Structure formats: C-alpha cells, structure tokens
Structure 1
C-alpha cells in the first residue's frame, strides 16, 4: 500500500515538473523607428540646427497595459499574456517618434525629456493617440491627433494622422512591425509640419 502511494506521489511530482517545463515564456516587443528605412531622409528645416521635444504621449485605456491587445471581433479584444511591450506603450510610441524625427530632420536634436528647467527654445510635439488597434494576420491601425508648437511663440500647427498597415504574418512580431510602420507615417506628417514652419 505504501509502495503504491509513493509511486503515485512520484508520478504526480514528475507530471507537475513536466507541466512547468512546458509553460510558455513571455516575449517582449518594442516599436522601432521605421520612417528613414522606408522613405529616406525628408530633409531638414532651413537655417540653424533645431531642437525638438516629443512630449509624453497619451493612448486609449484599452491598450494602456503591458500585454499586447488584439481585436478578435467587433466587440471583443484579447490580451496576450505572453506577448508584452518592453516598456509602456505610450513610452514606446514616444521613443519611436523621436527616433523617426531624428532621421527625418537632418541635424535636428530630438529628445523625449526637457533639456533644462523651463526650456522653450525648440519645437514641442504633442501626440494624443485615439486608436491603436491590432488584428493578427490582418491590419494594424493608428489614428492620432498631434500638434507642433514652434519656438518663439509662433502659431501652433496641428493635424490628424490615420495610418493602417497590413500585418504580414499571423504572429505578434509581424503585428508590432506593422505598428512601427504606422508610427513612421505619423512621424512623417509631424516632420512635414516642422519643415513647413521654418526655423528660428
């Protein structure tokens, strides 16, 4: 009897260990600057080298979470427990836009943090993401309102960008790559506004 109980306990322990070994591990994803790699440099603002600050970005609460969120129906989304952003999505977008602008605006000094207390000497970019939707194997969509405040009190420029890319694969890596291209489209619209505003 004791032998049977011992064998059962060992079997359960082995089964538990095997289950733990087979548990999926989380993968972490990050948006990458993509504007220059797709379209080349868009040139620079004429005049002196400029500075650009990309302010903190806002995103919808639905996607403001560590997990990637995929739409699976008209009224249903799915949180991917094992596919997560490497940093908060709002920070991912802010960093990717800054990277894109640094490539699109030659010689510009682009940052995501204030260069000094009360600094107002450069362009300030604000982005409010209205939609950040993903469908595995289908499309990735980004819609955002943005504004560019030039230095020296010039008029604020604003716009709205809608970008949608096909997801070239059924995995989360392909979905994130499509969103990187969407963010690149957003960055190009902002870069165009900065160039058209001229330089101090």
Structure 2
C-alpha cells in the first residue's frame, strides 16, 4: 500500500472522527425550590430510601423516549451521566431530605450508617418522555417498618406532565419535576404513617 493511499485513509479517518456527534450527558436534579411538609409530630425519624428498581428497558445509559405505535427511541448520543437507578436514588433522597427537614434521610444501602426506622422501597414501572406530549412516571412503592418488616403503607403513583420542549435537556428537566412531585407524594404518605404510629 503506497504512502499516499495510507495518508489519504488517515485524513478520511480523522475527518470522520471530527464530524462524529459528541455524546451529551444528563443528570436528574433535585428540586431546589421545594416546600417542606408541615409535620405535627416533632419526633425525629431515620428514613431509608431504596432500593429502587427499574425495568430492563431503562437499565442502560442511553435516554429512552416513547413514540406512537409502541415504538421507543434509544438515543445513542444522549445519555445519563450515571446509571439511572443511582441517579433516581440520589435525587429522590435529596428531595425527601428537603421535604422532611426534621428527619434523617439515607440512601440505600445505609448499613454503614446504622439502621433506619422506616424504609421506602420503590419499583419504577415507567420513567420516560413522549416528545411534544408528556413526561411520565409510574411506580409502585411501599413504606416498611425496618425493625418489624411490617408494611405500613403501599401505593401506586402515576404522574404525567405536559411537555412542550422536545429537546433532551427539556425532557430531563421535566423528568426531574415529575420525580419531585413523586417525592411529595411519598413525603405525604410518610406523614400519615408517622401520625398513626
């Protein structure tokens, strides 16, 4: 192979790499302006968040969007900066901490920090966007007494918000907001559990 051909191939390779789209990374943000839940019970509780499970479709770094006809799009160049399961756990823990300022909130696993009084287990069923339509969250959850393993409360949450911004940054922002609303539902459920125990 001549030097001229090798040089031409190298130039083509460098040009192709330079023109390849770069990967954009995203994180879920906890809500910065979130009002604490008013609690009449002044006792401090230790609340454990997790584990959180996600469906196999979401166990990937690429961001998933849904389209008509049961089609999904896996965005190769639009990715979560960390595994979605970890990102959800971190944001949810920070949201609950803001909503429950009198309590100590720890993310799963918390064994290094001791035990917790209450545990919130979350099973995410759906966490995606439909471009130009909605941001969607669906989840089953339980609140357990960590000492007795008794289920104190269980629920099923479905949250959908309209989505006008079809960009990926707009989609991630909308998903952060629906996660914030889900956090508020869990915080209210904790309040009812604590008031009755």
* TM > 0.5 fold call: yes
- Which of the pair is proportionally richer in strand? 2
Tell me how many residue pairs correspond in the alignment.
195
Distance 1:23 1:130 in 2: 34
For 2:56, which of 50, 54, 61 is the aligned residue?
61
Pairwise mapping of residues 182-193 of structure 1 onto structure 2 (< 5 A)?
182-193=178-189
Aligned Cα root-mean-square deviation (Å): 2.5
Match of 2:125? 130
TM-score normalised by structure 2 residue count: 0.87
Q: Is the 8 A contact 2:48 2:116 kept in 1?
A: no
Q: Is the 8 A contact 2:62 2:79 kept in 1?
A: yes
1:75/1:198 CA distance change after superposition, 3 Å: closer
Match of 1:196? 192
For 1:20, which of 3, 17, 31 is the aligned residue?
17
Match of 2:161? 165
For 2:104, which of 81, 102, 109 is the aligned residue?
109
Q: Is the 8 A contact 1:65 1:88 kept in 2?
A: yes
Instruction: Structure 1: give runs of 5+ residues left out of the alignment.
Output: none
Instruction: Structure 2: give runs of 5+ residues left out of the alignment.
Output: none
TM-score normalised by structure 1 residue count: 0.85
Q: Is the 8 A contact 1:101 1:110 kept in 2?
A: yes
For 2:65, which of 70, 82, 91 is the aligned residue?
70
1:8, CA displacement in angstroms? 5.3
SS at match of 1:57: strand
Distance 1:119 1:150 in 2: 15
SS at match of 1:132: strand
Bigger radius of gyration among the two:
1
1:95/1:121 CA distance change after superposition, 3 Å: closer
